[in-house]
Amino acid sequence: MFRLDGRRALVTGAGTGIGRAIALGFAAVGADLVLLSERDDLSEVTEQAQAIGARASAVQFDLLDTAGRPAFIESLFDSHDIDILVNNAGVIRRAPAETFSDGDWYEVMEVNAHAAFHFARTAGARMLQRGGGKIINIASVLSFQGGMFVPSYAASKHAIGGLTKALANEWAGRGINVNAIAPGYVETAVTADLRGDLRRRAEITARIPAGRWATPDDLVGAAVFLASDAAAYVHGHILVVDGGWLCR
């Protein structure tokens, strides 16, 4: 039930961190891959996926290119039959709300929310034509909380939660599973500055019942589950993978 043989997954933000781990996790259970990144070199992860036995191709595109993005996404789905979309690409900007710049607000919303919708819209349209598919959005524990000093990130991840439920309402009866994964605090480049603040790192770690931050590999099982036939009756769910953070 958890195999993905014969299916092709598009993973955005696949060069590092959570996206990379999910892509390789998919490859390990039989999926072929289309790997997308803005700036990260995808050659290593592509070679690793191919060594596992997956067919894997890499695509570079700047998701902040709002003028070129619609045509790029259409072309990407024209070139590849996508069975599984993982909307993982994301950015974060940190500053006190009273000094948070318009540029940082719009840049984060553009990548994390608007681009995710554009990918999901196109994927959904193609999946409806083909009889079904899986869409997995990467949300956050800040889809439920506000966080500190990250107003645009919190807003964008609340948007992802709402988008996941809205699309599931429309597409669940038409063969498409739309769900999300909400990671807690994960050791990735996105959290490097936060982890570099030793006081904040210690405060956060002390509040996690599991006693540690996640690694990207901790998200792989949840992604494989939601992409597989094992989750055939799971729709509009935000699967929290946070070491118990939201329980405390």
Catalogue the active-site residues: 153
Residues 165, 235: Cα–Cα separation, whole Å: 8
Q: Which of 33, 12, 32, 159 is nearest to 86 (CA)?
A: 12
Structure token digits, residue 144: 């439920």
Pairing between β-strand 84-87 and β-strand 56-60 as defined by DSSP bridges: unpaired
Scored b (16 or more CB within 10 A) or e, 174-189 reads: eebbbbbbbbbbbebe
Determine contact, residues 243/208, Cβ cutoff 8 Å. yes
Residues 162, 158: Cα–Cα separation, whole Å: 6
